[in-house]
Copies of this chain bind each other. A is one copy, B any other.
Protein backbone atom coordinates (compact mmCIF):
# COMPACT_ATOMS: atom_id res chain seq x y z
CA UNK A 1 0.00 0.00 0.00
CA UNK A 2 1.35 3.42 -0.95
CA UNK A 3 2.08 5.85 1.88
CA UNK A 4 -0.51 8.58 2.33
CA UNK A 5 0.49 11.61 0.28
CA UNK A 6 0.99 14.79 2.28
CA UNK A 7 -0.93 17.67 0.66
CA UNK A 8 0.72 21.11 0.45
CA UNK A 9 -1.73 23.99 0.15
CA UNK A 10 -1.26 25.43 -3.34
CA UNK A 11 -0.65 29.20 -3.30
CA UNK A 12 1.59 31.89 -4.81
CA UNK A 13 3.70 34.53 -3.08
CA UNK A 14 2.25 37.98 -2.32
CA UNK A 15 3.24 40.53 -4.98
CA UNK A 16 3.49 37.91 -7.72
CA UNK A 17 0.67 38.34 -10.23
CA UNK A 18 -0.86 35.22 -11.72
CA UNK A 19 -3.86 35.46 -14.02
CA UNK A 20 -6.68 33.11 -14.94
CA UNK A 21 -6.94 32.30 -18.66
CA UNK A 22 -9.49 34.97 -19.60
CA UNK A 23 -7.29 37.68 -18.06
CA UNK A 24 -4.08 36.15 -19.37
CA UNK A 25 -5.47 36.18 -22.91
CA UNK A 26 -6.12 39.91 -22.58
CA UNK A 27 -2.74 40.55 -20.96
CA UNK A 28 -0.97 38.70 -23.78
CA UNK A 29 -2.93 40.65 -26.36
CA UNK A 30 -1.69 43.90 -24.83
CA UNK A 31 1.86 42.58 -24.76
CA UNK A 32 1.62 41.44 -28.39
CA UNK A 33 0.40 44.91 -29.41
CA UNK A 34 3.30 46.59 -27.64
CA UNK A 35 5.74 44.21 -29.31
CA UNK A 36 4.18 44.74 -32.74
CA UNK A 37 4.36 48.53 -32.52
CA UNK A 38 7.91 48.50 -31.15
CA UNK A 39 8.96 46.27 -34.03
CA UNK A 40 7.19 48.42 -36.59
CA UNK A 41 9.48 51.28 -35.58
CA UNK A 42 12.54 49.19 -36.33
CA UNK A 43 13.47 48.12 -32.80
CA UNK A 44 15.17 44.72 -32.50
CA UNK A 45 14.46 42.30 -29.66
CA UNK A 46 16.87 41.66 -26.81
CA UNK A 47 16.47 39.01 -24.13
CA UNK A 48 19.01 39.29 -21.32
CA UNK A 49 19.28 36.76 -18.47
CA UNK A 50 17.09 37.33 -15.43
CA UNK A 51 20.04 36.46 -13.18
CA UNK A 52 23.39 38.26 -13.43
CA UNK A 53 26.51 38.58 -11.31
CA UNK A 54 25.81 40.98 -8.44
CA UNK A 55 29.10 42.71 -9.16
CA UNK A 56 27.84 43.54 -12.66
CA UNK A 57 24.18 44.27 -11.97
CA UNK A 58 24.89 46.38 -8.89
CA UNK A 59 27.93 48.17 -10.32
CA UNK A 60 26.27 51.53 -9.71
CA UNK A 61 25.61 50.62 -6.08
CA UNK A 62 23.66 52.38 -3.36
CA UNK A 63 20.15 53.73 -3.47
CA UNK A 64 16.73 52.38 -2.59
CA UNK A 65 16.79 49.91 -5.46
CA UNK A 66 19.74 47.92 -4.16
CA UNK A 67 17.94 47.16 -0.90
CA UNK A 68 15.05 45.69 -2.87
CA UNK A 69 17.17 43.41 -5.05
CA UNK A 70 16.69 39.64 -4.93
CA UNK A 71 20.31 38.72 -4.23
CA UNK A 72 21.64 35.33 -3.20
CA UNK A 73 24.58 32.94 -3.34
CA UNK A 74 24.62 29.84 -5.53
CA UNK A 75 27.74 27.90 -4.62
CA UNK A 76 30.45 30.57 -4.49
CA UNK A 77 28.71 32.95 -6.89
CA UNK A 78 27.01 36.15 -5.75
CA UNK A 79 23.89 36.50 -7.92
CA UNK A 80 21.20 39.11 -8.36
CA UNK A 81 17.93 39.15 -10.26
CA UNK A 82 17.49 42.09 -12.58
CA UNK A 83 15.44 44.95 -11.12
CA UNK A 84 15.02 46.79 -14.43
CA UNK A 85 15.92 46.34 -18.11
CA UNK A 86 18.16 49.40 -18.37
CA UNK A 87 21.14 48.11 -16.41
CA UNK A 88 21.24 44.86 -18.44
CA UNK A 89 21.02 46.95 -21.62
CA UNK A 90 23.98 49.05 -20.49
CA UNK A 91 25.97 45.90 -19.74
CA UNK A 92 24.96 44.34 -23.08
CA UNK A 93 25.88 47.36 -25.19
CA UNK A 94 29.25 47.79 -23.42
CA UNK A 95 29.96 44.07 -23.81
CA UNK A 96 29.07 43.87 -27.51
CA UNK A 97 30.01 47.36 -28.63
CA UNK A 98 31.84 46.13 -31.70
CA UNK A 99 29.09 43.75 -32.83
CA UNK A 100 26.44 46.47 -32.88
CA UNK A 101 25.65 49.24 -35.34
CA UNK A 102 24.75 52.61 -33.85
CA UNK A 103 22.28 54.13 -33.31
CA UNK A 104 21.25 50.85 -31.70
CA UNK A 105 17.49 50.47 -31.39
CA UNK A 106 16.43 47.68 -29.06
CA UNK A 107 13.25 46.67 -27.29
CA UNK A 108 12.98 44.27 -24.42
CA UNK A 109 9.87 42.86 -22.79
CA UNK A 110 10.52 40.85 -19.67
CA UNK A 111 10.00 40.32 -15.99
CA UNK A 112 11.97 42.24 -13.39
CA UNK A 113 12.14 41.76 -9.62
CA UNK A 114 11.94 44.16 -6.69
CA UNK A 115 11.30 43.32 -3.06
CA UNK A 116 8.72 46.09 -2.72
CA UNK A 117 6.72 46.59 0.45
CA UNK A 118 3.79 44.20 0.49
CA UNK A 119 0.75 46.27 -0.44
CA UNK A 120 -2.15 46.26 -2.87
CA UNK A 121 -1.12 47.17 -6.41
CA UNK A 122 2.60 46.77 -5.68
CA UNK A 123 4.31 43.93 -7.51
CA UNK A 124 7.56 42.15 -6.77
CA UNK A 125 7.62 40.44 -10.14
CA UNK A 126 6.42 42.58 -13.02
CA UNK A 127 6.79 43.06 -16.75
CA UNK A 128 8.62 46.01 -18.18
CA UNK A 129 8.31 46.79 -21.89
CA UNK A 130 11.21 49.05 -22.82
CA UNK A 131 12.58 50.71 -25.90
CA UNK A 132 15.83 52.61 -26.06
CA UNK A 133 17.85 54.16 -28.85
CA UNK A 134 21.55 54.30 -28.04
CA UNK A 135 24.03 56.47 -29.90
CA UNK A 136 27.82 56.23 -29.90
CA UNK A 137 29.20 59.59 -28.74
CA UNK A 138 26.10 61.42 -30.04
CA UNK A 139 22.41 60.95 -30.72
CA UNK A 140 20.37 63.55 -32.57
CA UNK A 141 17.49 65.18 -30.71
CA UNK A 142 15.24 64.14 -33.62
CA UNK A 143 15.16 60.72 -31.99
CA UNK A 144 13.43 62.28 -28.97
CA UNK A 145 10.59 63.29 -31.31
CA UNK A 146 9.99 59.78 -32.58
CA UNK A 147 9.40 58.27 -29.13
CA UNK A 148 6.01 59.96 -28.48
CA UNK A 149 4.75 58.57 -31.81
CA UNK A 150 5.53 55.09 -30.52
CA UNK A 151 3.73 55.76 -27.23
CA UNK A 152 0.79 57.17 -29.16
CA UNK A 153 0.48 54.15 -31.44
CA UNK A 154 0.95 51.61 -28.66
CA UNK A 155 -1.84 53.00 -26.52
CA UNK A 156 -4.14 53.72 -29.46
CA UNK A 157 -3.80 50.16 -30.72
CA UNK A 158 -4.22 48.72 -27.22
CA UNK A 159 -7.47 50.68 -27.11
CA UNK A 160 -6.79 52.70 -23.96
CA UNK A 161 -9.22 55.50 -23.07
CA UNK A 162 -8.09 59.05 -24.03
CA UNK A 163 -4.54 59.81 -22.92
CA UNK A 164 -2.09 62.65 -23.18
CA UNK A 165 1.68 62.48 -23.55
CA UNK A 166 3.32 65.21 -21.51
CA UNK A 167 6.81 66.31 -22.38
CA UNK A 168 9.41 68.63 -21.04
CA UNK A 169 13.14 69.24 -21.30
CA UNK A 170 15.27 69.10 -18.18
CA UNK A 171 17.72 71.64 -19.60
CA UNK A 172 15.03 74.34 -19.29
CA UNK A 173 14.74 73.97 -15.54
CA UNK A 174 18.45 73.43 -15.01
CA UNK A 175 19.15 76.56 -17.05
CA UNK A 176 16.54 78.46 -15.09
CA UNK A 177 18.13 77.38 -11.81
CA UNK A 178 21.53 78.58 -13.06
CA UNK A 179 19.94 81.82 -14.20
CA UNK A 180 18.70 82.43 -10.64
CA UNK A 181 21.95 81.28 -9.09
CA UNK A 182 20.44 78.17 -7.46
CA UNK A 183 22.02 75.48 -9.67
CA UNK A 184 23.21 72.28 -8.02
CA UNK A 185 20.50 72.23 -5.33
CA UNK A 186 18.85 68.81 -5.65
CA UNK A 187 16.14 69.70 -3.09
CA UNK A 188 14.77 72.08 -5.71
CA UNK A 189 14.08 69.35 -8.24
CA UNK A 190 12.76 67.09 -5.53
CA UNK A 191 10.29 69.76 -4.39
CA UNK A 192 9.08 70.41 -7.93
CA UNK A 193 8.74 66.68 -8.57
CA UNK A 194 6.22 66.59 -5.69
CA UNK A 195 4.36 69.70 -6.85
CA UNK A 196 1.38 67.92 -8.42
CA UNK A 197 0.94 65.78 -5.33
CA UNK A 198 1.32 68.32 -2.53
CA UNK A 199 0.24 71.54 -4.30
CA UNK A 200 1.91 74.88 -4.98
CA UNK A 201 1.51 76.26 -1.45
CA UNK A 202 3.42 73.51 0.27
CA UNK A 203 6.07 73.41 -2.41
CA UNK A 204 6.64 77.14 -2.10
CA UNK A 205 6.94 76.78 1.66
CA UNK A 206 9.42 73.93 1.29
CA UNK A 207 11.57 76.02 -1.00
CA UNK A 208 11.47 78.97 1.37
CA UNK A 209 12.46 76.74 4.27
CA UNK A 210 15.34 75.38 2.20
CA UNK A 211 16.57 78.97 2.01
CA UNK A 212 15.96 79.51 -1.68
CA UNK A 213 16.03 83.16 -2.62
CA UNK A 214 12.57 84.76 -3.06
CA UNK A 215 13.27 86.05 -6.58
CA UNK A 216 14.34 82.55 -7.62
CA UNK A 217 11.15 81.04 -6.20
CA UNK A 218 9.03 83.60 -8.02
CA UNK A 219 10.90 82.97 -11.27
CA UNK A 220 10.54 79.22 -10.96
CA UNK A 221 6.82 79.48 -10.22
CA UNK A 222 6.29 81.89 -13.10
CA UNK A 223 8.01 79.30 -15.31
CA UNK A 224 6.04 76.25 -14.24
CA UNK A 225 2.78 78.21 -14.33
CA UNK A 226 3.11 78.66 -18.08
CA UNK A 227 0.26 76.79 -19.76
CA UNK A 228 -1.76 76.83 -22.97
CA UNK A 229 -1.38 75.26 -26.37
CA UNK A 230 2.03 73.91 -27.27
CA UNK A 231 2.67 76.98 -29.43
CA UNK A 232 1.51 79.30 -26.61
CA UNK A 233 3.98 77.70 -24.24
CA UNK A 234 6.90 77.90 -26.66
CA UNK A 235 6.15 81.59 -27.28
CA UNK A 236 5.86 82.30 -23.55
CA UNK A 237 9.22 80.60 -22.97
CA UNK A 238 10.77 82.82 -25.63
CA UNK A 239 9.16 85.84 -23.98
CA UNK A 240 10.74 85.02 -20.60
CA UNK A 241 13.99 86.28 -22.08
CA UNK A 242 16.20 83.94 -20.05
CA UNK A 243 19.62 84.20 -21.69
CA UNK A 244 21.19 81.23 -19.93
CA UNK A 245 22.77 78.98 -22.63
CA UNK A 246 21.44 75.72 -21.13
CA UNK A 247 17.94 77.17 -21.00
CA UNK A 248 18.22 78.28 -24.62
CA UNK A 249 19.55 74.85 -25.65
CA UNK A 250 16.63 73.17 -23.91
CA UNK A 251 14.17 75.55 -25.56
CA UNK A 252 15.72 74.89 -28.97
CA UNK A 253 15.43 71.12 -28.44
CA UNK A 254 11.85 71.42 -27.24
CA UNK A 255 10.93 73.41 -30.37
CA UNK A 256 12.58 70.85 -32.65
CA UNK A 257 10.94 67.93 -30.84
CA UNK A 258 7.51 69.58 -30.90
CA UNK A 259 7.77 70.25 -34.63
CA UNK A 260 8.87 66.71 -35.49
CA UNK A 261 6.41 64.96 -33.16
CA UNK A 262 3.63 66.20 -35.44
CA UNK A 263 5.47 64.97 -38.53
CA UNK A 264 5.84 61.55 -36.88
CA UNK A 265 2.05 61.43 -36.71
CA UNK A 266 1.03 62.40 -33.17
CA UNK A 267 -2.13 64.55 -33.25
CA UNK A 268 -1.95 67.88 -31.42
CA UNK A 269 -4.49 66.87 -28.76
CA UNK A 270 -2.43 63.82 -27.75
CA UNK A 271 0.67 65.65 -26.51
CA UNK A 272 1.33 68.69 -24.40
CA UNK A 273 4.37 70.49 -23.07
CA UNK A 274 4.24 70.28 -19.27
CA UNK A 275 6.99 72.39 -17.74
CA UNK A 276 6.57 71.06 -14.24
CA UNK A 277 7.32 67.41 -14.96
CA UNK A 278 10.75 66.22 -13.93
CA UNK A 279 10.85 62.37 -13.87
CA UNK A 280 13.84 60.37 -12.67
CA UNK A 281 15.63 62.87 -10.55
CA UNK A 282 19.26 62.15 -11.28
CA UNK A 283 19.08 60.21 -14.50
CA UNK A 284 17.48 62.19 -17.30
CA UNK A 285 19.32 65.11 -18.85
CA UNK A 286 17.11 66.43 -21.68
CA UNK A 287 13.67 65.51 -23.01
CA UNK A 288 11.40 63.74 -20.52
CA UNK A 289 8.02 62.09 -21.10
CA UNK A 290 5.10 60.85 -19.11
CA UNK A 291 1.68 59.61 -20.20
CA UNK A 292 -1.58 60.21 -18.35
CA UNK A 293 -5.05 58.79 -18.90
CA UNK A 294 -7.24 61.91 -19.11
CA UNK A 295 -10.15 60.41 -17.18
CA UNK A 296 -8.01 58.49 -14.69
CA UNK A 297 -5.29 60.88 -13.50
CA UNK A 298 -5.10 58.96 -10.21
CA UNK A 299 -3.43 56.06 -12.04
CA UNK A 300 -0.39 58.26 -12.66
CA UNK A 301 1.94 57.92 -15.59
CA UNK A 302 1.46 54.71 -17.61
CA UNK A 303 4.56 55.25 -19.74
CA UNK A 304 7.55 57.40 -18.83
CA UNK A 305 11.07 57.97 -19.97
CA UNK A 306 13.50 60.43 -21.39
CA UNK A 307 16.91 61.34 -22.67
CA UNK A 308 20.09 60.45 -20.77
CA UNK A 309 23.70 61.38 -21.44
CA UNK A 310 25.56 58.24 -20.67
CA UNK A 311 24.04 54.77 -20.57
CA UNK A 312 26.94 52.57 -19.57
CA UNK A 313 29.50 54.57 -17.61
CA UNK A 314 29.94 51.66 -15.19
CA UNK A 315 30.95 49.26 -17.95
CA UNK A 316 32.83 51.31 -20.54
CA UNK A 317 34.63 54.58 -21.05
CA UNK A 318 32.74 55.16 -24.31
CA UNK A 319 30.06 57.80 -24.09
CA UNK A 320 26.68 56.32 -25.00
CA UNK A 321 23.83 58.83 -24.95
CA UNK A 322 20.32 57.47 -25.33
CA UNK A 323 16.61 58.01 -25.10
CA UNK A 324 14.01 55.51 -23.99
CA UNK A 325 10.68 54.74 -22.40
CA UNK A 326 9.24 51.98 -20.27
CA UNK A 327 5.73 50.60 -19.88
CA UNK A 328 5.15 48.79 -16.58
CA UNK A 329 2.67 46.35 -18.04
CA UNK A 330 1.85 44.35 -14.91
CA UNK A 331 0.96 47.46 -12.93
CA UNK A 332 -0.88 49.01 -15.89
CA UNK A 333 -2.96 45.86 -16.36
CA UNK A 334 -3.77 45.74 -12.66
CA UNK A 335 -4.83 49.38 -12.61
CA UNK A 336 -6.94 49.18 -15.76
CA UNK A 337 -8.66 46.18 -14.25
CA UNK A 338 -9.26 47.96 -10.92
CA UNK A 339 -10.64 50.99 -12.77
CA UNK A 340 -13.06 48.71 -14.66
CA UNK A 341 -11.59 49.62 -18.05
CA UNK A 342 -10.81 46.06 -19.15
CA UNK A 343 -14.42 44.98 -19.44
CA UNK A 344 -16.00 41.85 -18.02
CA UNK A 345 -17.41 38.66 -19.52
CA UNK A 346 -14.17 37.90 -21.35
CA UNK A 347 -13.89 34.59 -23.22
CA UNK A 348 -11.66 32.05 -21.48
CA UNK A 349 -10.67 30.49 -24.80
CA UNK A 350 -9.06 31.60 -28.04
CA UNK A 351 -11.02 28.98 -29.97
CA UNK A 352 -13.35 29.99 -32.76
CA UNK A 353 -14.74 26.50 -33.28
CA UNK A 354 -15.49 23.47 -31.14
CA UNK A 355 -15.93 20.29 -33.19
CA UNK A 356 -18.31 17.93 -31.41
CA UNK A 357 -18.68 14.25 -32.33
CA UNK A 358 -22.01 12.49 -31.93
CA UNK A 359 -21.49 8.75 -31.85
CA UNK A 360 -18.41 7.11 -33.30
CA UNK A 361 -17.33 9.97 -35.59
CA UNK A 362 -14.03 10.98 -34.02
CA UNK A 363 -11.94 10.28 -37.13
CA UNK A 364 -14.08 12.58 -39.24
CA UNK A 365 -14.04 15.21 -36.49
CA UNK A 366 -10.25 15.05 -36.38
CA UNK A 367 -10.07 15.45 -40.16
CA UNK A 368 -12.44 18.43 -40.16
CA UNK A 369 -10.51 20.07 -37.30
CA UNK A 370 -7.27 19.50 -39.15
CA UNK A 371 -8.65 21.22 -42.26
CA UNK A 372 -9.96 24.16 -40.21
CA UNK A 373 -6.61 24.57 -38.47
CA UNK A 374 -4.91 24.39 -41.83
CA UNK A 375 -6.71 27.61 -42.76
CA UNK A 376 -5.64 29.22 -39.48
CA UNK A 377 -8.95 28.82 -37.62
CA UNK A 378 -8.38 28.18 -33.90
CA UNK A 379 -10.16 24.88 -33.38
CA UNK A 380 -10.77 22.37 -30.62
CA UNK A 381 -12.31 18.92 -30.80
CA UNK A 382 -14.32 17.69 -27.83
CA UNK A 383 -12.60 14.37 -27.23
CA UNK A 384 -14.25 13.14 -24.04
CA UNK A 385 -17.09 10.65 -24.22
CA UNK A 386 -20.03 12.30 -22.55
CA UNK A 387 -23.51 13.65 -23.20
CA UNK A 388 -24.05 16.16 -26.00
CA UNK A 389 -25.35 18.71 -23.47
CA UNK A 390 -22.06 18.70 -21.61
CA UNK A 391 -20.17 19.14 -24.85
CA UNK A 392 -22.24 22.16 -25.87
CA UNK A 393 -21.86 23.54 -22.37
CA UNK A 394 -18.08 23.48 -22.76
CA UNK A 395 -18.39 25.82 -25.75
CA UNK A 396 -20.78 28.05 -23.83
CA UNK A 397 -18.60 28.29 -20.75
CA UNK A 398 -15.56 29.25 -22.82
CA UNK A 399 -17.38 31.68 -25.11
CA UNK A 400 -16.49 29.67 -28.24
CA UNK A 401 -18.69 31.21 -30.97
CA UNK A 402 -19.22 28.17 -33.28
CA UNK A 403 -19.86 24.48 -32.73
CA UNK A 404 -19.51 22.06 -35.64
CA UNK A 405 -21.52 18.94 -34.90
CA UNK A 406 -20.67 15.72 -36.71
CA UNK A 407 -22.90 12.66 -36.47
CA UNK A 408 -23.27 9.59 -38.67
CA UNK A 409 -25.28 11.59 -41.21
CA UNK A 410 -22.50 14.15 -41.60
CA UNK A 411 -19.92 11.40 -41.94
CA UNK A 412 -21.84 9.80 -44.80
CA UNK A 413 -22.87 12.90 -46.75
CA UNK A 414 -19.87 15.15 -45.95
CA UNK A 415 -21.98 18.05 -44.72
CA UNK A 416 -21.38 19.80 -41.39
CA UNK A 417 -23.96 20.97 -38.87
CA UNK A 418 -22.79 24.43 -37.79
CA UNK A 419 -24.29 26.04 -34.72
CA UNK A 420 -23.84 29.73 -34.02
CA UNK A 421 -23.61 29.84 -30.23
CA UNK A 422 -24.59 33.50 -30.03
CA UNK A 423 -27.74 33.42 -32.17
CA UNK A 424 -28.49 29.76 -31.42
CA UNK A 425 -29.12 29.11 -35.12
CA UNK A 426 -27.97 25.81 -36.62
CA UNK A 427 -27.58 24.97 -40.33
CA UNK A 428 -26.17 22.12 -42.39
CA UNK A 429 -23.58 23.18 -44.98
CA UNK A 430 -20.46 22.14 -46.88
CA UNK A 431 -16.99 22.63 -45.41
CA UNK A 432 -16.36 25.63 -47.66
CA UNK A 433 -19.63 27.28 -46.64
CA UNK A 434 -18.85 26.60 -42.99
CA UNK A 435 -15.42 28.17 -43.36
CA UNK A 436 -16.99 31.34 -44.76
CA UNK A 437 -19.45 31.56 -41.88
CA UNK A 438 -16.76 30.93 -39.27
CA UNK A 439 -14.28 33.39 -40.73
CA UNK A 440 -16.89 36.14 -41.21
Contact = CB atoms under 8 A, between A and B. Distances in A.
Contacts of A377: 40
Given A42-B378, A72-B72, A101-B394, A264 B47 contact: no
Interface stretch (A5-13, A189-197, A215-223, A227-235): A5-13
A44 B349 contact: yes
A260 interface: yes
A66 interface: no
B101 A41 contact: no
Contacts of A436: none
Interface stretch (A161-169, A174-182, A268-276, A310-318): A310-318
Contacts of A206: none
B125 A366 contact: no
A63 interface: no
Question: Copy number in this complex?
Answer: 2
A316 to B, nearest CB: 7
B77 A13 contact: yes
Interface string A242-286: 000000000000000001100111000000000000000000000
Given A19-B47, A101-B398, A264-B370, A10 B91 contact: yes
A374 B370 CA distance: 34
A336 interface: no
Given A263-B367, A348-B101, A370-B265, A74 B44 contact: no
Interface stretch (A92-100, A292-300, A422-430): A92-100
A387 interface: no
Nearest to A371: B265
Interface string A336-362: 000000000000111100000000001
B369 A315 contact: no
Contacts of A92: 10, 18
Contact of A74 (B11, B45, B70): B70
Nearest to A396: B101
Interface string A312-329: 111111000000000000
Contact of A379 (B16, B40, B138): B40
A395 B373 CA distance: 38
A194 to B, nearest CB: 27
B56 A146 contact: no
Nearest to A8: B59
Given A41-B378, A75-B115, 12 more contacts: A5-B313, A8-B315, A9-B315, A10-B94, A42-B379, A51-B113, A72-B72, A105-B380, A140-B385, A142-B381, A149-B370, A263-B363
Q: Which 9 A-B pairs have the closest CB atoms?
A: A72-B72, A42-B380, A263-B366, A265-B370, A10-B95, A16-B49, A21-B44, A142-B383, A10-B315
17 contacts: A10-B92, A12-B53, A12-B95, A13-B49, A16-B52, A18-B92, A24-B45, A24-B47, A39-B350, A40-B378, A42-B379, A70-B74, A140-B383, A140-B384, A263-B367, A264-B367, A265-B367
